[in-house]
Amino acid sequence: MPHGSPRLALSGYVLPNAHTLVLKLTNISARPISTYPFRLPWGNPNSLNLFGLTTRGQVLKQSLPIADPIYEKPVVIAPGQSLTGNVDLSFKLNGFPEARVATPVIVVWSYELEAGESIITGAAVAGRLSATEPLP
């Protein structure tokens, strides 16, 4: 599919007391979208492009592990339907837990369901954690 009007919207936020990015993917087109679960933003470690930026200017780079997709039955996202999933930022962004103790971190993402699709971008702020504040 060539670049054009986006078929999807992606929004998210970081849980206040965890290293978890919660994402909501919504079909904003008039047609159902069928895709494999590994292509969802949270479906494979490499399906979502991320970086972090501390309020002190430190860039946190994305970890890119080898992650071969596992075949699963395709999912269909109906028009107007949303799916949600989580991304573990302590695994995805190098140095995220340590940086978040010192300063808030802005998490920026880009996502493309399939090559040639419109690229969806977004950001969320992970507030500073106290060094003594336990994670759930």
Per-10-residue mean pLDDT for the chain, 136 residues long? 69 92 95 93 92 94 83 93 96 93 93 80 84 48
**What's the predicted TM-score (pTM) here?**
0.86
Domains of the chain by range and CATH?
A: 8-126 (2.60.40.2360)
pLDDT the model gives residue 76: 95
Nearest residue to 87 via CA among 128, 55, 45, 116: 45
97 in Cβ contact with 19 (< 8 Å): yes
- Inter-residue contact 68 to 111 (CB < 8 Å): no
